[in-house]
Structure 1
Amino acid sequence: MAEQPTRAWYATLRHLWLDERDARRAVPPALAERLRERVAASERRHSGQLRICVEGGLPPSYLWRHLRWRVPMPKLVHQRALMLFSRLHVWDTEHNNGVLIYLLLAERRIELVADRAVARRVDAQAWSALVRDLGEALHHGRFEQGLLQAVDGVTELLAPHFRPADDGPRPNELPDEPVLR
């Protein structure tokens, strides 16, 4: 029984240790620019909006819930991804077709959060396959390849369902740059 609290404390320390600097090391400026370009190219193929967020560790309020209330870490990571989905306004697109790719370095966890219209049209198994492939790439140290493939995978899932408008260019509703926290 004492093993579980010890594991929780180690996880907490890992989150407190990793921060925005670690996210910036994982996604240096050159990679951030390539990701921005890939997101922009993706959004030309469909009407959806795509955001990438890489975070070092969870904020203390989440860690407190883990330690004090024993909320499982996977649930906290999902809650954080949903909160960032909201905070980054991915939910606030005109056609409800935004997608957030969220990576939490301290837990080596990936969450894909899709807005309502996307969730109605794209099968959950397709999202699971994307998460699995990205996780595999990250596990083998292929951070750039994994993120670029994830953007391409989201593009392939959105393009058949959300065609770009035929009446000329549309405004970019969300920034294309990855968010590093």
Structure 2
Amino acid sequence: MRDIITEEQEKEIVEAIAQAEANTSGEIRVHIENNCAIDPLDRAVEVFASLHMHQTRLRNGVLFYVALKSHKFAVIGDAGINAAVPDNFWDETKTTVLSEFKNGNYGAGLVKGILMAGEQLRTFFPHDPETDTNELHNDVSFGK
């Protein structure tokens, strides 16, 4: 995967997560693996659970799931987000990310999508410095 997502790009993704989370109480994670043999939304749900993302106080975790070699991508939010936002909430974010992916710009696509997600989430889950803590790691997780 390092031939597609470099260590420098990984650092940029982690920085984008921190920047996005500064605007919202939402928690953002990125998971990257090579292959996905099932529907990417189904796989994203599996990864979401394995990363214990459902354990945030407001149930407002967001996962960006990427299967590089399978060319699959999904963005999913936890129950708290899904209850608060319209059905097409992630459409613009997905379109932006995928347009960068089509040009081979995986790191840039994720950074743009993460920053967009932070802005979108701010409306429904604004940052509250009195109660917000970083509930999930900002690091990128990698599968096989």
1:139 to 91, 95, 102: 102
- Choose between structure 1 and 2: higher helix proportion: 1
TM superposition shift of 1:31: 1.0
TM superposition shift of 1:49: 0.4
Q: Does 1:129 align with 2:92?
A: yes
- 45-54 vs 170-179, greater mean Cα deviation: 170-179
Deviations 1:68-127 (A, max 9, x none): xxxxx4x3x222110000111111111100000001112211111100111122223231
What are structure 2's unaligned runs of at least 5 residues? none
CA contact (8 A) 1:122 1:157 kept: no
Bigger radius of gyration: 1
Q: Matches of 1:139 and 1:38 in 2, distance apart?
A: 21
Q: How many residues align?
A: 143
CA contact (8 A) 2:10 2:107 kept: no
Q: Matches of 1:30 and 1:140 in 2, distance apart?
A: 18
Find the residue that maps to 1:167 and give its secondary structure: coil
TM-score (norm 1): 0.73
Q: Matches of 2:41 and 2:127 in 1, distance apart?
A: 30
Deviations 1:121-171 (A, max 9, x none): 222323122112211110111222211110011111101111122426x43
Map of 1:173 onto structure 2: 135
Higher relative contact order (CA 8 A, sep 6+): 2
In percent, how many aligned pairs have the same letter? Answer: 22
CA contact (8 A) 2:34 2:67 kept: yes
What are structure 1's unaligned runs of at least 5 residues? 1-21, 64-72
1:160 to 117, 123, 138: 123
Q: Matches of 1:128 and 1:107 in 2, distance apart?
A: 21
1:44 to 9, 18, 22: 22
Q: Matches of 1:128 and 1:115 in 2, distance apart?
A: 16
